[in-house]
Amino acid sequence: SLSITEPGELDLDLLQGWVSTLLNEKGADIFRMKGVLSIAMSQQKYVYQAVHMIFNGDFLEPWAKDEPRVSKLVFIGKNLDHKELTESFKACLAPPDFLERKKAALRFGVGAQVECKTGQGRSGWSRGAVVQLMYQDECMTPGQIAPYQVQLDDGGLIWAPEDTDELIRAV
């Protein structure tokens, strides 16, 4: 078995990509993995387990006020490279300015006129304007941050889950 303990908070997007890649590339060698993770922008612990390529996880109890935010992972398997796993996991840590970095990488600013894939109307696209960047609310998964909140021309208020042309594009 192999374990990793890492202080700090994780970027949920980077973590999801890491887990997906890890299970696709090394899933046959990972008999079991489990852990408790500290996700940036979430007050709850993310507890997960995986058996081979089946992954289950959920946000459970909140971190205690004075409890250090530390992620702990345990792997049971064969041909596991501790250094490689540790380094690739550390790449998921959110730097202190991670929200600013994500915001700087966005294609649209507040006020930009856009179309969002809503599935409504003949085209399936609805026009609107970006009203907020890096949006988060209580209806979202803890730690999830939407790149944009958009006020639609019809009055609706939605959020775009990803900054891709398949979901949001310039008018």
**Model confidence over 125-171: pLDDT tens digits?**
999 999 999 999 988 888 889 999 999 999 999 999 999 999 999 99
- Residue range 35-77, pLDDT digits in tens: 999 999 999 999 999 887 788 899 999 999 999 999 999 999 9
The sheet with strand 125-135 has its strands ordered as 157-160, 146-152, 125-135, 113-117, 168-170
**pTM score:** 0.78
How many Cα atoms are found within 13 Å in the side-chain-facing hemisphere of 12? 20
Rounded to a whole number of angstroms, the CA Rg of the chain reads: 19
**Ramachandran assignment for 140, one of left (phi > 0), alpha (psi -120 to 50 degrees), beta (any other):** beta
Residue closest to 41 by CA, chosen among 143, 170, 146, 119 = 143
> What Å distances lie between residue 158 and 24, 43, 110, 135, 155, CA to CA?
33, 24, 14, 10, 10
